[in-house]
């Protein structure tokens, strides 16, 4: 007990538990409170009891520390980490492990409209990692999804923890609302409750497409995945017709189809790995409309084959080298044998700056009968560079005599980032049919913009403008207009307690990629704080 009194002191330092009238240094951290009582070897802190330790700050109406056992216990616990806010009905800290029950977790800065409820939690105060068991995701009182186990790390976002894809930049919620040749609104990869058959929550897509356009539609999709298995299906009903695609993978079984590409296939496969070597043997039945190879025409039938790969990787200090050759063979019914070989060679330096160079190649005796085994003839050289605020990337297709790339520089300021990016495509003229029916153009575009710092305060907002200028070379179908404005846009962000609301608009004056048209695009989104 005398030793305990030596550890207890009046502390007037600023911040955390150290500013409490009574503090105690424990193996778990600094415990404190406005009052301190004793029950034998148990120190009882109350009146704003708290614990400061690496990775978290814990508060509770009462904190009991058993000096003999070295265990801290509390009820109605509140825990704050750098990214998450926890509440627990009961908890105990043994060493560096917090064990708690009756958990409520949120990323909201105030309130908990979006939360995860869990039966129990195991939190490692040294690493900041936590495991939540038997959890449910809720929005207000609506249950969205259930999870047997969730792993939380300080670096992972809530969407990553839930196993959900992130749309766009940041932790965007699975909602869609935008205008691009028509209004699109609905749920995109929205989590739904699952019976854990796949081990991870399933997701639903339900989107109204191109409302107000001549070709409106409805998109419906479901997806679920787990260890060594996944299943996805998407159907799109429009005034012009029906489109669908699906993928089912479970161990050696693979089934997939895409009506838009004209692909239908079922494959049984077996793979072996030994050292850097990998061998896959397969048998399949498939149909391929061969839209990219019209001279072959639609093909359907059986195929069997194999593909052998080798991976060599070496690293010495900041230098890295990777070499991955492959060779494949496919045998068909009533079709010539398909042979292909190729590979990639990549070198990288990661030190004061980052530099990478890569060469990809493949050679085939003839185009494969189906897309599943096909490796089109390729000869490409690509590279990337990153140094401070400068990044550059370029890719040269030697067979198509085409060079595509971009150079970007970002200047960090206390209020955000000012950036400039130059995009180019040399040798693109007239090679690709664009979505507006015109030939592709030589691209020379300079984009300028501003990215404000992430919103840190509730009820705050920011503006992110961008503009592009470029040269219109024209096509054989129309004359060029020379230098002009290619695009202009503005994004408004507003932060409330739980999410950041995003509203953006961009107008394309001179299309710069095959999928762009002269039109305006409106975007609405929600992003987790």
SS3 487: strand
- pLDDT grade, residue 256 (50/70/90)? very high
- Does 266 share its domain with 145? no
**CATH assignment of the domain containing 126:** 2.60.450.10
Domain that holds residue 268: 251-378
Q: What share of the chain is helix, strand, coil (3-state, %, to 5)?
A: 5, 65, 30
- pLDDT grade, residue 201 (50/70/90)? low
Please say if the pLDDT value at position 379 is more than 50.
yes
* Most confident among 94-103, 111-120, 225-234, 318-327 (mean pLDDT): 318-327
Note whether 34 and 20 are within 8 A (CB): yes
DSSP-assigned states of every residue in 447-476: EEEEEEPPP-STTEEEEEEEEEEEEEEE-S
- Does residue 395 lie in a domain region? no
Q: What gap in Å lies between CA 362 and CA 369, rounded to an integer?
A: 16
Within a 10 A sphere around the Cβ of 119, how many other Cβ atoms? 12
Q: What gap in Å lies between CA 17 and CA 92, rounded to an integer?
A: 18
Tokens of 459: 């009820």
Q: Where are the beta strands (DSSP E) in 351-430?
A: 354-364, 378-387, 390-397, 402-413, 416-426
* Boundary residue ending a domain (161, 194, 217): 161
Q: What gap in Å lies between CA 70 and CA 4, rounded to an integer?
A: 12
Q: Which residues contact 226 (CB under 8 A, 6 or more apart)?
A: 197, 198, 199, 200
Give the C-alpha distances (Å, rounded to integers) separating 429 from 376, 397, 400, 444, 520: 22, 14, 11, 12, 24
- Does residue 203 lie in a domain region? no
Residue, of 203 and 437, whose pLDDT is higher = 203
Q: What gap in Å lies between CA 254 and CA 280, rounded to an integer?
A: 13
Q: What is the mean pLDDT of residues 389-410?
A: 95
- Does residue 298 lie in a domain region? yes
Give tens-digit pLDDT for 85-126. 889 999 888 878 889 999 998 888 888 888 889 999 998 877
Note whether 285 and 265 are within 8 A (CB): yes
- pLDDT grade, residue 366 (50/70/90)? very high
Residue with tokens 């970002």: 410
pLDDT given at position 139: 80
- Does residue 438 lie in a domain region? no
Residue, of 188 and 329, whose pLDDT is higher = 329
- Does 144 share its domain with 262? no
Q: What gap in Å lies between CA 504 and CA 492, rounded to an integer?
A: 6
- Does 154 share its domain with 255? no
Q: What gap in Å lies between CA 232 and CA 206, rounded to an integer?
A: 14
- Does residue 473 lie in a domain region? no
pLDDT given at position 258: 96
Residue 249: HSE in the Cβ half-sphere, 13 Å Cα cutoff? 12
The pTM for the full model equals: 0.75
* Boundary residue ending a domain (324, 347, 378): 378
- Does residue 340 lie in a domain region? yes
Q: What gap in Å lies between CA 382 and CA 359, rounded to an integer?
A: 7
- Does residue 416 lie in a domain region? no
pLDDT given at position 5: 31
Q: Which residues contact 6 (CB under 8 A, 6 or more apart)?
A: none
- Does 25 share its domain with 146? yes
Among 150-154, 314-318, 383-387, which stretch is predicted with the lowest mean pLDDT?
150-154
Q: What average pLDDT is seen over the chain?
A: 85
Please say if the pLDDT value at position 12 is more than 50.
no
- Does 14 share its domain with 130? yes
- Does residue 212 lie in a domain region? no
Q: What gap in Å lies between CA 64 and CA 42, rounded to an integer?
A: 6
The DSSP letter of residue 201 is: -
- Does 154 share its domain with 10? yes
- Does 153 share its domain with 260? no
- Does 255 share its domain with 157? no
* Most confident among 218-232, 372-386, 495-509 (mean pLDDT): 372-386
Ramachandran angles phi, psi of 161, nearest 5°:
-65, -40
**Structural domain count of the chain:** 2
- Does 155 share its domain with 261? no
* Boundary residue ending a domain (330, 349, 378): 378
- The pLDDT > 90 percentage for the chain reads 47
Please say if the pLDDT value at position 441 is more than 80.
no
């Amino acid at each position: 007990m005398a030793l305990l009194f030596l550890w207890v002191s009046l502390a007037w330092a600023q911040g955390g538990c150290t500013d409490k009238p009574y503090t105690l240094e424990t193996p778990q951290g600094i415990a404190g409170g406005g009052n301190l009582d004793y029950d034998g070897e148990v120190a009882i802190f109350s009146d704003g009891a708290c614990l400061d330790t690496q990775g978290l700050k814990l508060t509770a109406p009462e904190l009991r520390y058993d000096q003999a056992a070295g265990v801290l216990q509390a009820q109605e616990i509140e825990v704050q980490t750098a990214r998450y806010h926890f509440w627990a009905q009961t908890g105990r800290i043994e060493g560096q492990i917090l064990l708690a029950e009756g958990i409520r977790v949120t990323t909201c800065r105030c309130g908990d409209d979006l939360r995860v409820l869990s039966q129990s939690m195991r939190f490692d105060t040294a690493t900041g990692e936590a495991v939540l068991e038997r959890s449910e995701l809720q929005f207000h009182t609506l249950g969205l999804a259930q999870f047997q186990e969730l792993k939380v790390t300080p670096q992972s976002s809530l969407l990553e923890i839930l196993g959900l894809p992130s749309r766009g930049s940041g932790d965007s919620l699975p909602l869609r609302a935008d205008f691009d040749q028509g209004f699109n609104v609905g749920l995109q990869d929205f989590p739904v409750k699952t019976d854990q058959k796949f081990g991870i929550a399933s997701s639903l897509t339900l989107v109204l497409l191109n409302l107000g356009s001549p070709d409106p539609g409805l998109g419906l999709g479901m997806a679920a995945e787990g260890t060594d298995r996944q299943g996805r299906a998407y159907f799109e009903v429009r005034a012009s017709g029906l489109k669908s695609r699906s993928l089912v993978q479970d161990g050696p079984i693979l089934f997939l189809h895409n009506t838009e590409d004209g692909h239908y296939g079922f494959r049984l496969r077996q793979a072996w790995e030994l050292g850097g070597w990998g061998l896959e043997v397969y048998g399949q039945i498939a149909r391929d409309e061969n839209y990219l190879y019209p001279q072959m025409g639609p093909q359907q039938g059986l195929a069997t084959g194999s593909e052998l790969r080798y991976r060599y990787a070496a690293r010495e200090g900041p230098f890295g080298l990777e070499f991955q050759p492959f060779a494949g063979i496919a045998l068909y019914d009533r079709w010539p044998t398909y042979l292909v070989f190729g590979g990639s060679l990549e070198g990288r330096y990661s030190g004061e700056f980052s530099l990478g160079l890569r060469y990809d190649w493949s050679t085939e005796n003839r185009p494969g009968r189906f897309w599943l085994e096909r490796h089109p003839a390729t000869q490409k050289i690509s590279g990337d560079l990153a140094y401070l605020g400068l990044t550059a990337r370029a890719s040269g297709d030697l067979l198509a005599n085409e060079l595509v790339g971009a150079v970007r520089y970002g200047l960090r300021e206390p209020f955000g980032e000012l950036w400039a990016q130059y995009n180019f495509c040399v040798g693109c003229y007239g090679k690709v049919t664009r979505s507006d029916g015109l030939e592709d153009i030589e691209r020379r575009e300079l984009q300028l913009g501003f990215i404000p710092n992430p919103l840190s305060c509730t009820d705050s907002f920011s503006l992110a403008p961008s503009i592009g200028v470029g040269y219109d070379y024209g096509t054989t179908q129309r004359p060029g207009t020379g230098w002009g404005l290619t695009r202009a846009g503005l994004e408004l962000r507003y932060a409330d307690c739980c999410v950041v609301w995003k509203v953006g608009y961009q107008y394309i004056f001179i299309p710069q990629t095959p999928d762009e048209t002269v039109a305006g695009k409106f975007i609405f989104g929600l992003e987790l704080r």
